[in-house]
Amino acid sequence: MDNLPEIRSHYELNELGQPVNNPVSGWVPPPVPERRTLDGRFCRVEPLDPATHAESLWVANSQDREGRMWTYVRFGPFETFEGYRAWLEERYSGPSSPYAIVDAVTGHAVGIVSYTHINPSAGSIEVGSVVYSPMLQGTSAATEAMYLMMQNAFSLGYRRYEWQCNTLNATSRAAAQRLGFSFEGVFRQENVIRGRNRDQAWYSVIDQEWPALRAVFQQWLAPENFDLQGQQRTRLSDLTRPLLNDIVIPRS
C-alpha cells in the first residue's frame, strides 16, 4: 500500500506541493574523534598500541580454538602471533585506527573496536571492526565498551551512529538490536569477502534517539542492576526493545 499520504502529514511541503525533508538549523559538522581513553566501570577503551596490547589480545583470541569469532569479519584468523601483530601494526597506522578494550579488573586487552566510515560533513560515523575474544563475549564490559563508544560519538555532535554486519551473522544482528540500533534494511551483494557473496544488514541510532537510549544504558550499567554474583537483574534487551524504530522510507 502506498504510504505517501501518511508521509506527507509529517513533512513540510514546498511550493510545488512536494514533501521536503526537515531543515537542520544551527548544526555544525563534528570533529573527527580524538584518540583518547574512554573510562568505564567494567572496562576502558583506549587507543590500541601493538607494543602494549598485541600479546594480551593474542592470548585472549586464542581461547577461541575453533575460529568462530572470525567467520563473519573481513580479516583473520591468524596462524602466528607475528602475523597478528603485523596486522595490528598495519591497522594502527591507518585512518580507522582501532581501540583496545581493556578489562578493568585484569588490565588485559580482550577485544578491539574502531570508528569507521567517519563522515563529519554528514554527521555520520560507524562502529566497526568489532572483534570480541571469548574472554569479552557476553560480559558487562562488552556492553559498556559499546556504550562508551556511542556516548563519545554523540557528545562530539554526530547525528547518526551506524552498525553494519553480514546478514547471516545472527549474533551481530541480535547484538545490534539489544544495544538499541534500529534495523534499516539490507544492501544485497554489497561485497565479496573470502570468495563469497556478502549481503550487508544496516542498523543505526540517530541523535534524537540518543537521550532515551543513554538513560537506558545508564540504568542497566548501574551497580544496583547487578546482584552479588555480578548477574544482571534487568536485561538490556528488555529496556531497549521499546526504543527500536520501524524505519519508514518515503515512496516516490
Which string of DSSP letters, residue by residue, matches 229-242?
TS-BSS-HHHHHGG
Q: Which three cell numbers stand for residue 119?
A: 563522515
Strands (E), the chain: 12-13, 19-20, 38-39, 43-47, 99-103, 109-119, 124-132, 160-166, 182-193, 196-206
Q: How large is the average pLDDT for residues 56-85?
A: 96
Omega prior to 223 cis, within 30 of 0 = no
pLDDT tens, position by position, 72-129:
999 999 999 999 999 999 888 766 779 999 999 999 999 999 999 999 999 999 999 9
Secondary structure (DSSP) of 39-71: E-SSEEEEE--HHHHHHHHHHHHTT-TT-GGGT
pLDDT band at 247 (very low <50, low <70, confident <90, very high): low
Residues 21-56: pLDDT tens digits? 989 988 899 999 999 999 999 999 999 999 999 999
pLDDT at 62: 97
- Give me the mean pLDDT over the 139-159 stretch: 98
Angle at 93 between CA 91 and CA 99, to 5 degrees: 55
**Mean pLDDT score, 237-250:** 82
- The grid coordinates listed for 112 are 578491539
Question: Model confidence at 246, in pLDDT bands (50, 70, 90)?
Answer: confident
Work out the pLDDT band at 11, boundaries 50, 70, 90: confident
Least confident among 72-76, 101-105, 229-233, 246-250: 246-250
| CA neighbours closer than 13 Å in the CB half-sphere of residue 35 | 14
Class of domain 4-20+37-243: alpha beta
Where do the structural domains in the chain lie, given as residue ranges? Answer: 4-20+37-243
Q: Where does residue 158 rank: exposed (0-12), middle (13-18), buried (19+ CB within 10 A)?
A: buried
Decide if pLDDT at 10 tops 90: no
Task: Find, among 153, 208, 204, the residue nearest to 179 by Cα.
Answer: 204
Model confidence pLDDT, tens digit, residues 175-228: 999 999 999 999 999 999 999 999 999 999 999 999 999 999 999 999 999 999
Residue 4: pLDDT over 90 = no
pLDDT recorded at residue 132: 97
Residue 1 clears pLDDT 50, i.e. is over it: no
CA distance linking residue 50 with residue 92, whole number of Å:
7
Contact 21, 14 (CB under 8 A): no
Q: Does residue 252 register a pLDDT over 50? A: no
Q: What pLDDT, on the 0 to 100 scale, is given for residue 93? A: 75
pLDDT value of residue 91: 83
